[in-house]
Amino acid sequence: MPAVLAVLTAGLLAFHRAVPNSVSRLGSLLESFFAWLGLVVVVLLVLALLRRSATALMALLLPVAAWTLLFGGLLLPGVEPGPHDLVVVQHNVSDVNTGPAGTARALAEAEPDLIALEELVPPALAVYEKTFAANYPYHAIQGTVGLWSKHPLTGARLVDIKPRGITETWSRGLRTVAHTPHGDIAVYVAHLPSVRIRASGLASSRRDESAGLLGKAIAAEKLKTALLLGDLNGTVDDRGLAPLTSRMTTAEQGFAFSFPAAFPMARIDQVMARSATVGHIRTLPATRSDHLPVIARITLR
């Protein structure tokens, strides 16, 4: 039995795109927790050793190879920042955060160039603006998302990523231009709709629709270099984010599981880039949010 399960696990890793999304979005559900299939391999290894099964041990080489090919690079240590790098922080601060000033100070202590926040609501927004003011003199806000920067920002505007089924006021997309010492960069900040795991499967249609709208906006971006920072409510392996991951690169090192903060299971807070490289990504200590902040280094080309 361990040998059979090992082969099945290897098949899921190698051919996960074959799992249909038309049925309860099972493909996206699998890909949301994709990296955790490594734990299945560990359990099967223990079973194989207990049974002293040479066949099972040989079969385990298949999922080990598949997992290493997919995720092994994320385990590599990051290299030292170079002269043309930017450091960015992404954080869903939670609309019920009871300590916005402390959250802002914690993020600023990492000394990033850019800080993207989601779930900005009054009166907490005024606290973020005041706390960041000294070190981040430039900022742009659209609805409940915002960007703070050490470098000048211009041309801030709304990016409409509102799904058709939402009728209430809903503004979760921002585009602005950061004028850095290394050139102008289009910066997008977004908060895609939440997904829910139900008995019927993964409810992600609104998230997927919003990702498609955001992908079209980025495809139409005229500036060569673009960054996307946001709570995308999906992992980079989730095919629901394909309109974004097909156009932008994602982190080369680091897992940085960011949600839920109490026991992180997945990184749904993302940093992506076009015509730039997202190097090492990691989490920062918990704030009073249900997400962990993530910090990443961007190498400009």
pLDDT of residue 82: 62
Q: Classify residue 286 by its DSSP letter.
A: P
DSSP bridge pairs for 272: 228
pTM: 0.93
Asked which of 123-127, 146-150, 186-190, 251-255 is least confident by mean pLDDT, the reply is: 251-255
pLDDT of residue 83: 62
271-300, pLDDT tens digit by residue? 999 999 999 999 999 999 999 999 999 999
Confidence bin at 80 (pLDDT 50/70/90)? low
Contact in structure between 266 and 257 (CB atoms under 8 Å): yes
Q: Which of 268, 197, 244, 238 is nearest to 27 (CA)?
A: 238
Q: Which of 269, 271, 248 is nearest to 258 (CA)?
A: 269
Beta strands in 98-192 (DSSP E): 114-118, 138-142, 145-149, 153-158, 173-180, 183-191
pLDDT of residue 21: 87
Contact in structure between 83 and 280 (CB atoms under 8 Å): no
* Domain range annotation of the chain: 2-75, 85-300
pLDDT above 90 for 110: yes
Contacts of 207 (CB under 8 A, 6+ apart): 192, 193, 194, 195, 232, 233, 234, 240
168-217, pLDDT tens digit by residue? 889 999 999 999 998 999 999 999 999 998 877 889 999 999 999 999 99
Share above pLDDT 90 across residues of the chain, in percent, rounded to a whole number: 72
Asked: is 85-300 a CATH 3.40.50.720 domain? The reply is no
Q: List the 153-158 sheet strands across, edge first.
A: 153-158, 173-180, 183-191, 226-231, 269-274
DSSP bridge pairs for 183: 180
Confidence bin at 52 (pLDDT 50/70/90)? confident
pLDDT of residue 79: 59
pLDDT of residue 260: 97
Token couple for 5? 């399960």
Tell which wins on pLDDT, 185 or 37.
185
Tell which wins on pLDDT, 240 or 85.
240
